[in-house]
Structure 1
């Protein structure tokens, strides 16, 4: 009995081992067939663009503040009552326009008094000259002493000097009278009226009557890093430098002008330099105190290879782009990138004209991945 059991258990164990091996082999065959029958992953949808040659404008962009081309605080140069205000707030004013009148009566009286004094002294001079001439003749016949002649000559000289003083007083009085009629010293736009009609104004008043800002043309003071100074100087030396004022909010173009000058020093605190640009501002798109972006055109690169800047990726070994091959697979191509302006990247090395590069969807790609390119997008700014 014991011998029968001894032989039965090895037989059972052998049978179970063979059964398990057969089961495992069957599972492996089934798994292999499943993997072989699994379809490849679908291609990644991407948007592409062609590498093209084009001219690229190189701009330096800085933040600027709009300032009046000229600004004047109109003040009274004499004391008196403000009798008339002849401008409207917000009115465009031409140089020489009469904008206010100070009570002129006191100044007119002073002028009349100076003129009367001149007439009086001119009459006295005429009489002194007659006396001098008469006494000179009498002196020849010894009927007048030399002292009398000398006194008459001195009187003539005194009246001549007095008349010169009178004429100076008249000029001063006329000038003071002219100050009662206040005219605009520049072309510009009037601001808010600071003094109302009927008030007494003084030459020493700090506030003035109104501020006039010249806004046609208008200026923009912008800043750029000091490292950009050589490029700006070179551009200015070559001729007129275009400046483009764009909205700080949506990037829309507000006006096109030119760079007037570079400031004569660099700010040591910020390491920036100020530029003054001038714009015609015919449509009043620029307003004093407004913040804008100023794009300064410093160079134009001719017939260079370009791609949309979105195509350029950054990797541990430097910039690269995904290039689409004929089989709709992608390869990572290292590139040397030059200027990037207006969403366009200049490619100095690594690509050829006409190649197709990925500009959207590259974050789902790896070298060798299959892609489904969409209609090529036009290069930005074309």
Structure 2
């Protein structure tokens, strides 16, 4: 009898435990609302990126070629100047006096030349008739040649004095943007002084120098056969990149770094690029005709690398590792892990895990 009672109690206990288990079963997880996009195939450029520095094509340190007092400064700091524009004026009076002295010496020697010619012309007939010795006639001819040489020296001195006088007006040798004026009017300047009056940098066009791994050299050479390589320079704080082209590839690889130096030329009409500025350079080396592309926002980064959440047919998430080849204008080119036509989560990943049920909406 006790065994029957024991069995009855056991059955009741088991029934109660089973009922409690059914009542405490966790509720089914609600779907997480997300937006999703479909991976597509597209023709995408093959880009390589590298940091670069902006360099002026021409940079001239303007110096005086004569000594004297600086009378006028015709420009202001940071102004744009054109080739041939007057920048500075140095006191021209000493050079003008030297030119006048050279002209006076030339006039004197020109008169002596005319006299020597007259003497040769006057006495050559007498010498021919024997009324004048050969030595005397030769002396007149020598005097004429000496007078001609003196006049030629004077002409050279006058030309040199004119050049020196022209140096008192200092003109811009190139077009560009000037920096800070280092010497103001009233100061005495010296010829070829260590410190320049001002420095002019050519801004249009302008260069950007950068380096790429030598492993890309073969691909660059192949791409160059189709024309100049397109380059883009991106400046921090400016969304629109500056378009240019590669103007120079060095003829040797740097053995220490394993890189090859390049230089891209940019028209720089808007003066976005500035000498000494650091930029990021993108170089186009070709195109992938059927690249698998998704928005960059779909790519997540974890301790094991990049991954995306793929939407399965049953509207659950699958966390899948992917290999991203590059990112172009906000679109990621997926080299491995994803096929065209698959749907991936675009927004709402913060609440999604592997096998999470999803409520998918179009972006």
What residue in structure 2 maps to residue 278 of structure 1? 265
Aligned equivalents of 1:277 and 1:373: distance in 2? 46
Q: Post-superposition shift, 1:159?
A: 1.8
Residues 1:328 and 2:321 are matched in the alignment: no
What residue in structure 1 maps to residue 11 of structure 2? 22
Q: In structure 2, which of residues 61, 69, 76 is the aligned counterpart of residue 88 of structure 1?
A: 76
Aligned equivalents of 1:351 and 1:17: distance in 2? 62
- 8 Å Cα contact 2:214-2:258 kept in structure 1: yes
Q: 1:51 to 1:28 in 2, by over 3 A?
A: same
The range that moved more, 324-333 or 124-133, is 324-333
Q: In structure 2, which of residues 207, 232, 241 is the aligned counterpart of residue 244 of structure 1?
A: 232
What residue in structure 1 maps to residue 343 of structure 2? 356
Q: Post-superposition shift, 1:332?
A: 5.9
What residue in structure 1 maps to residue 332 of structure 2? 345
- Report matched runs for 1:38-53 at 5 Å: 38-53=26-41
Q: Post-superposition shift, 1:59?
A: 2.3
- Report matched runs for 1:162-177 at 5 Å: 162-177=150-165
Q: In structure 1, which of residues 33, 55, 58 is the aligned counterpart of residue 43 of structure 2?
A: 55
TM-score, normalised by the number of residues in structure 2:
0.86
- Report matched runs for 1:1-382 at 5 Å: 14=3, 17-18=6-7, 21-30=10-19, 33-34=22-23, 38-248=26-236, 250=237, 252-253=239-240, 255-311=242-298, 321-331=308-318, 338-347=325-334, 351-360=338-347, 361=349, 364-366=352-354, 368-376=355-363
Aligned equivalents of 2:242 and 2:304: distance in 1? 42
Q: 1:349 to 1:211 in 2, by over 3 A?
A: closer
TM-score, normalised by the number of residues in structure 1:
0.82
SS state at 2:223 partner: helix
Aligned equivalents of 1:61 and 1:251: distance in 2? 17
What RMSD in Å do the two structures reach over aligned CA positions? 3.1
Q: Post-superposition shift, 1:226?
A: 3.2
Q: Post-superposition shift, 1:146?
A: 1.3
Rg bigger for which structure? 1
- After superposition, the C-alpha distances for 1:5-43 in whole angstroms (9 at most, x for unaligned) are xxxxxx76x4775366335533453355447x6543333
Aligned length: 362
Gaps of 5+ in 1: 1-10, 377-382
Q: Post-superposition shift, 1:173?
A: 1.0
Aligned equivalents of 1:192 and 1:345: distance in 2? 45
Aligned equivalents of 1:342 and 1:103: distance in 2? 58
- 8 Å Cα contact 2:319-2:353 kept in structure 1: no
The range that moved more, 319-328 or 48-57, is 319-328
